[in-house]
Amino acid sequence: MTQPVSPPRGSTDKVPPMSELPAWRTLAARADVRTLSLLGVLVALIVIGGITKPDEFLDTRNLQLVLTQASVIGVVTVGMTFVITSGGIDLSVGAIVALSSVWATTVATQEYGFAGILFTAVLVGVGCGLVNGLLIAYGGMVPFIATLAMLASARGLALQITDGKTQIVTIDGILKLGERDSYILGIPPLVLVFAVVTIIGWLILNRTTFGRRTVAVGGNAEAARLAGIDVRRQRLYLYLLSGLCCGIAAFLLIILSGSGQNTNGNLYELDAIAAAIIGGTLLSGGRGTITGSVLGVLIFTTITNIFALNNLQSDVQQIAKGAIIVAAVLVQRRTAAHST
Amino acid sequence: MAPEPPLLTMSGITKSFPGVRALDGVDLDVQAGEVHCLLGQNGAGKSTLIKVLAGAHQPDGGTIGWRGEPVTLRSPIAAMRLGIATIYQELDLVEGLSVAENVHLGHEPTAAGFVVRGKAAKASTAQLLRRLGHPEIDPARLVGELSAAQQQIVSMARALSHDVRLIVMDEPSAALDPDEVDNLFRIVGDLTADGVAVVYISHRLEEIRRIGDRVTVLKDGRAVAGGLPAKSTPTREVVALMTGRNVEYVFPERPTRGPSSEPVLRVQGLARAGEFEPLDLELRPGEIVGLAGLVGSGRSEILETIYGARKPTAGQVSVDGRTLRTGSVRAAVRAGLGLAPEERKAQALLMLESVTRNVSVSSMSRFSRGGWIDRGAERGAARAATRELSLRPDNPSVPIRTLSGGNQQKAVLARWLLRGCRVLLLDEPTRGVDVGARAELYAVIRRLADEGLAVLLVSSEVPEVLGLADRVLVLREGRVVHTAPARELDEHRVLDLVMEGSPAS
pLDDT in tens, B379-434: 999 999 999 998 988 999 999 988 888 899 999 999 999 999 999 999 999 877 76
The vertex-A248 CA angle with A245 and A253, nearest 5°, equals 120
Read off the CATH number of the domain in which B55 is found.
Answer: 3.40.50.300
Residue B315 φ/ψ, nearest 5 degrees: 90, 175
Say which range, A24-28, B284-288, B458-462, has the weakest mean pLDDT.
Answer: A24-28
8 Å CB contact of A7 and B384 = yes
Q: Is residue B116 assigned to a domain?
A: yes
pLDDT at A101: 97
Instruction: Map residue B110 onto helix, strand or coil.
Output: strand
Chain B CB within 8 Å of residue A228 CB: yes
List the single residue in A5, A12, A18 with the smallest CB-CB distance to B388: A5
Type and span of the H or E element at A291? helix A290-309
Of B128, B145, B162, the residue that ends a domain is B162
Considering only CB atoms, which chain A residues are within 8 Å of B350? 215-216, 219-220, 223-224, 286
Query: A333 versus B336: which is more confidently predicted?
Result: B336
B129 part of a folded domain: yes
Mind telling me how many Å the CA of B14 is from chain A's nearest CA? 25
Task: Characterize B376-415 residue by residue with b for buried, 16 or more Cβ atoms within 10 angstroms of its Cβ, and e for exposed.
Answer: bbbbbbbbbbbebbebeeebbbebbeebbbbbbbbbbbbb
Domain-located, residue B90: no
Do B218 and B336 lie in a common domain?
Answer: no
CA distance B316 to A299: 57
At A328, the pLDDT band (50, 70, 90 cuts) reads: confident
Mean pLDDT, residues A278-304 taken together: 93
**Amino acid (1-letter code) at residue B246:** N
Assess contact for B156 and B38: CB atoms under 8 A: no
Distance CA B468, CA B474 (A): 14
Q: Give the C-alpha separation, B32 to A52, whole Å.
A: 76
Q: Is B74 helix (H, G, I), strand (E, B) or coil?
A: coil
Q: What is the pLDDT of residue B244?
A: 62
Q: Identify which of B357, B397, B420 has the shortest CB distance to residue A20.
A: B397
Highest mean pLDDT among A80-84, B109-113, B145-149, B341-345: A80-84
Residues B150, B49, single domain; the answer is no
Q: What are phi and psi of A178, to 5 degrees?
A: -90, -10
CA distance B449 to chain A (A): 9
A222 interfacial to chain B (CB closer than 8 Å): yes
Residues B151 and B167 reside in one and the same domain:
no
Contact flag A222-B347 (C-beta cutoff 8 Å): yes
Same domain, B368 and B459: yes
Does B269 share its domain with B289? yes
| Mean pLDDT score of chain A | 88
Number of domains in chain B: 3
Note whether B77 and B125 are same-domain residues.
no
Asked if B363 and A226 come within 8 Å (Cβ–Cβ), the reply is no
Pair (B327, B238) in one structural domain = no
Q: Is the dihedral of CA B263, B264, B268, B271 positive or negative?
A: negative
Q: Distance between alpha carbon B239 and the CA centroid of its chain, in Å?
A: 19
In a domain, B258, yes or no: no
Q: Is B39 helix (H, G, I), strand (E, B) or coil?
A: strand
Place A20 in a pLDDT band, splitting at 50, 70 and 90.
Answer: very low
Q: How far apart are CA B250 and CA B477, in angstroms?
A: 30
Position B358 in a domain: yes
Q: Work out the widest C-alpha separation in chain A, in whole angstroms.
A: 74
- Provide the ipTM: 0.82
Q: Do B385 and B493 have their domain in common?
A: yes
For B419, the closest of A4, A209, A230 (CB atoms) is A4
| Of the residues B147, B162, B177, the one at which a domain ends | B162
C-alpha to C-alpha distance for B238 and B23, rounded to whole angstroms: 20
Binary contact (A226, B339; C-beta < 8 A) = yes
**Is residue A118 within 8 Å of A270, Cβ to Cβ?**
no
For residues B5 and B64, state if they share a domain: yes
Tell me how long chain A is.
Answer: 340
Q: Is the dihedral of CA A212, A218, A220, A223 positive or negative?
A: positive
- Is the residue at B88 inside a domain? no
Q: Are residues B127 and B73 in the same domain?
A: no
Residues B47 and B180 in one domain: yes
Tell me the mean pLDDT in the region A234-258: 97
On whether residue B253 sits in a domain, the answer given is no
Alpha-carbon distance B396 to B384, whole Å? 10
Instruction: From chain A, pick out residues whose CB is under 8 angstroms from the CB of B389.
Output: none
CA distance B451 to chain A (A): 6
What's the domain range around B426? 265-500
* Structural domain contains residue B459: yes
CA-CA distance, B488 to B133, in Å (whole number)? 47
**What pLDDT sits at residue B109?**
76
* Chain B interface includes A210 (CB < 8 A): yes
Measured CA to CA, the distance from residue B228 to residue B230 in angstroms comes to 6
B392 and B346, same domain (yes or no): yes
